[in-house]
Homo-oligomer: A and B are copies of this chain.
């Protein structure tokens, strides 16, 4: 497959869609990003790298960090993770408290905010400085010497964290948060504020397309079966409350963030990352979703 020319065609085709929707504006640091950015990268299981547009420009990974935090927690705790968080689509907005109240403080899945707070709580118990553990893990996945988080974004997230604080305290009242809420929120906001580019993120998820092994060095991140299962989880829960529609249109496991990034996995084939900051109503990158839909259409490849 000549992914280079496919990416070029996608880049051309999405031009009219750039800027449609709305850049996340709940914190000023995200609101400042130009809505017209577009970058995309593909890293195959054979180690080939393809990219187009702003694929080397760093952006705030936001909820994409939930995927890597989960992998880290699964490495540390295995199946015990699922005692504290479910594996079902939430059916409600990503920051709803209603579901938590009805289900005794157990979040539906690790990709909604409540679930990611529980995962972060697990990392807070396991690691002295969880954000460092996550950064080191991302260094290993990408082969980069350093992964940074943006301190202004982090501080801004932290001062706008009332809804997350509400969920954290609420789960704590049900006994499903073990560390102090402040500590968990600090780590959570730093995870969200990590800055990466499309090429590095495509590299970072490529192990999920490669039976759990990092393509460049064959190192095992997760067992093959668990890697497949994570893909399933991304497909059913990875794109907020439009996971069904996303699967219908795109047909690839994916995890999105309100920074406009989306990582996706074509099993046995490649890791993918696309970035464009303008979001649709569900909080997924508008042009990014379109680009992934074009990818499966142009290559004739999806998991279905």
Residues of chain A touching chain B, judged by Cβ–Cβ distance below 8 Å, are 86-92, 96-102, 108-109, 162-163, 165-170, 172-173, 181, 225, 228-229, 231-233, 235-237, 241-245, 247-249, 251, 253, 267, 297, 302-304
Instruction: State the number of copies, please.
Output: 4
Between A166, A225, A297, the greatest number of chain B beta carbons within 10 A of the residue's beta carbon is seen for: A166
Known contacts: A232-B248, A236-B235. The answer to whether A162 contacts B170 by CB under 8 A is yes
23 A-B pairs with CB atoms under 8 Å apart are A86-B245, A88-B89, A88-B91, A88-B241, A89-B236, A89-B243, A91-B92, A97-B97, A97-B98, A98-B102, A108-B244, A109-B244, A162-B169, A165-B169, A166-B169, A166-B173, A228-B304, A231-B304, A232-B247, A233-B247, A235-B236, A236-B244, A267-B303
Beta-carbon contact of A304 and B162 below 8 Å: no
How close is A91's CB to chain B, nearest CB, in angstroms?
2
What is the interface of chain A mostly: helix, strand, loop, or mixed? helix
Residues of B within 8 A of A231 (CB): 304
By beta carbon, the residue of chain B nearest A175 is B162
Q: A199 vs B159: C-alpha distance in the bound complex, in angstroms?
A: 46
Residues of B within 8 A of A99 (CB): 91
Q: A236 vs B252: C-alpha distance in the bound complex, in angstroms?
A: 12
Beta-carbon contact of A235 and B253 below 8 Å: no
Beta-carbon contact of B304 and A229 below 8 Å: yes
Between A89, A243, A245, the greatest number of chain B beta carbons within 10 A of the residue's beta carbon is seen for: A89
Beta-carbon contact of A243 and B88 below 8 Å: yes
Residues of B within 8 A of A242 (CB): 88
Q: A86 vs B244: C-alpha distance in the bound complex, in angstroms?
A: 9
Q: A167 vs B297: C-alpha distance in the bound complex, in angstroms?
A: 37
Q: A168 vs B100: C-alpha distance in the bound complex, in angstroms?
A: 16
Beta-carbon contact of A170 and B97 below 8 Å: yes
Residues of B within 8 A of A232 (CB): 244, 247-248, 251, 302, 304
Residues of B within 8 A of A170 (CB): 97, 162-163, 166
Beta-carbon contact of A304 and B253 below 8 Å: yes
Q: Which 6 A-B pairs have the closest CB atoms?
A: A91-B91, A166-B170, A88-B244, A89-B89, A162-B173, A166-B169
By beta carbon, the residue of chain B nearest A108 is B91
By beta carbon, the residue of chain B nearest A211 is B300
Q: A107 vs B102: C-alpha distance in the bound complex, in angstroms?
A: 19
